[in-house]
């Protein structure tokens, strides 16, 4: 194959599970838990009344402190018969159909699953089996920062001439690792997305990337085996009590360094960027990013109200809806930024190509088979 410098996203698709949850659901089913959370929030607010916000992150978070759901409006969780693999399969098929590619046209599959169904093996080969792909299948793990890292990897492989079409599939299924009566579960959601990375027209595609590690977050999130009511071991995600303070302290520095260096490497300025895509793990993260970078809020998008925190899938969700709404058009300069705990923070500048979008995930959402799902739990 011949090396190609103009490489980027040629198609993009999303996939979400069948079960929707709103804060009204939790108010109805866990009224005491919600009331207790509201009381704790009120006490915390009263103790902070005379304390100024320490930084941009804290100032943007402040309006949400009185809300026990921290701005969450709606979230998605796996229903019966659904898994990270079923979400990945739908997104992958949709992305290939949008790109008008056959299975034989795919040279490589890269999968980033947080977390995979098959811990220790990853989802890549299992997804390749479901899709009936014969090409290589790689797992890539950068936790919630997997999307820009996978995009950078796929683009480099196509630019080298070793591959022509790389299918990248990203998923996040937090609901497998939280109990529904854990208040942390109110902020976490499930979803998947897929992109095809291919040669584009001259001067389109990835122009630059800057990535730095996030080792300062190594001890903030972790998994533990805990017994369920029947004594069976289940894997549960834990968040350190001081995590929010650490994220508040480091977020602006990570954002500035990655974005400023990516923009400089692309030979452009922030004023020349037409649109910004940030992963939005909190309701206020997009506003935080625009404040730190000094850009207008109209130049970005925030899908947190639609999906809550879907980890690495957030970047693809924001990209999809920005393109769907016409906020990103062919030949626009786009900056994407994402980060994950104990992995990397990454910013990339690209010139948007003629990207084919998969079907609207809201119009083609699968119907739940029962009203109250049995959660899919990882166990050992």
3-class secondary-structure state, position 153: helix
pLDDT in tens, 6-17: 999 999 999 999
Which has the minimum average pLDDT: 60-69, 277-286, 362-371? 362-371
Complete domains list, the chain, with CATH: 7-357 (3.40.47.10)
* pLDDT of res. 53: 62
Residue 308 falls in which region: left (phi positive, over 0), alpha (psi -120 to 50) or beta:
left
* pLDDT of res. 207: 98
Question: With 60 as the cut, is the pLDDT of residue 221 above it?
Answer: yes
CB 205 within 8 A of CB 257: no
3-class secondary-structure state, position 217: helix
d(CA 306, CA 75): 7
d(CA 252, CA 241): 20
DSSP annotation of 206? E
H or E segment to which residue 10 belongs: strand 7-15
d(CA 260, CA 30): 45
φ/ψ of 322, rounded to 5, equals -65, -45
Which has the minimum average pLDDT: 49-63, 232-246, 287-301? 49-63
**What pTM did the predictor assign?**
0.92
d(CA 178, CA 189): 10
Residue 51 falls in which region: left (phi positive, over 0), alpha (psi -120 to 50) or beta:
beta
**Structure-token pair, residue 338:** 């994402």
H or E segment to which residue 167 belongs: strand 166-173
3-class secondary-structure state, position 85: helix
* pLDDT of res. 51: 54
DSSP annotation of 103? G
d(CA 300, CA 328): 10
Q: Do the strands 7-15 and 356-357 form a parallel or antiparallel pair, or are they unpaired?
A: parallel
* pLDDT of res. 49: 52
pLDDT in tens, 70-117: 999 999 999 999 999 999 999 999 999 999 999 999 999 999 999 999
H or E segment to which residue 110 belongs: strand 108-114
d(CA 105, CA 124): 17
d(CA 184, CA 186): 5
d(CA 236, CA 240): 13
Cis before 360? omega within 30: no
- Exposure class string for 2-41: b at 16+ Cβ within 10 A, else e: eebebbbbbbbbbbbbbbebebeebeeebeebbeebeeeb
pLDDT in tens, 313-372: 999 999 999 999 999 999 999 999 999 999 999 999 999 999 999 999 987 666 543 333
- Start-to-end Cα distance in the chain: 44
Mean pLDDT along residues 122-132: 98
d(CA 310, CA 114): 10
d(CA 355, CA 14): 14
* pLDDT of res. 48: 54
Question: With 80 as the cut, is the pLDDT of residue 3 above it?
Answer: no
CB 19 within 8 A of CB 76: yes
């Amino acid at each position: 194959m011949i090396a190609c410098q103009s490489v980027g996203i040629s198609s993009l698709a999303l996939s979400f599970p069948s079960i929707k949850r709103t804060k009204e659901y939790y108010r109805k089913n866990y009224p005491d838990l919600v009331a207790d959370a509201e009381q704790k929030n009120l006490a915390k607010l009263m103790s902070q009344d005379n304390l100024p916000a320490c930084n941009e992150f804290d100032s943007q978070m402040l309006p949400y402190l009185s809300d026990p759901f921290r701005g969450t409006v709606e979230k998605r969780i796996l229903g019966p018969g659904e898994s990270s693999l079923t979400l990945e399969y739908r997104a992958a098929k949709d992305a290939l159909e949008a790109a008008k590619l056959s299975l034989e046209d795919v040279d490589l599959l890269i999968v980033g699953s947080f977390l995979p169904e098959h811990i220790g093996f990853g989802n890549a080969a299992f997804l390749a089996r479901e899709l009936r792909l014969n090409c290589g299948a790689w797992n890539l793990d950068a936790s919630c920062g997997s999307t820009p890292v996978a995009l950078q990897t796929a683009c480099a492989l196509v630019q080298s001439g070793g591959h022509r079409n790389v299918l990248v599939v990203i998923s996040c299924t937090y609901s497998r690792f939280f109990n529904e009566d854990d208040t942390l579960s109110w902020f976490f959601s499930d979803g998947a997305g897929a992109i095809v990375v291919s040669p584009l027209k001259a001067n389109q595609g990835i122009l630059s990337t800057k990535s730095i590690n996030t080792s300062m977050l190594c001890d903030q999130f972790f998994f533990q085996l805990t017994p369920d009511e029947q004594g069976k071991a289940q894997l549960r995600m834990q968040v350190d009590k001081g995590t929010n303070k650490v994220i508040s302290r480091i977020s602006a520095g990570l954002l500035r360094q990655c974005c400023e260096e990516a923009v400089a490497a692309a030979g452009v300025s922030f004023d020349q960027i037409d649109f910004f895509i940030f992963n939005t793990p909190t309701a206020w993260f997009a506003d935080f990013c625009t404040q730190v970078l000094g850009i207008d809020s109209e130049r970005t998008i925030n899908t947190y109200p639609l999906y809550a925190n879907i980890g690495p899938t957030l970047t693809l969700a924001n990209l999809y809806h920005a393109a769907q709404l016409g906020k990103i058009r062919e030949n626009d300069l786009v900056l994407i930024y994402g980060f994950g705990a104990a992995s990397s923070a990454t910013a990339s500048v690209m010139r948007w190509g003629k990207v084919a979008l998969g079907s609207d995930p809201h119009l083609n959402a699968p119907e739940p088979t029962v009203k109250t799902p049995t959660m899919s739990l990882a166990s050992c």
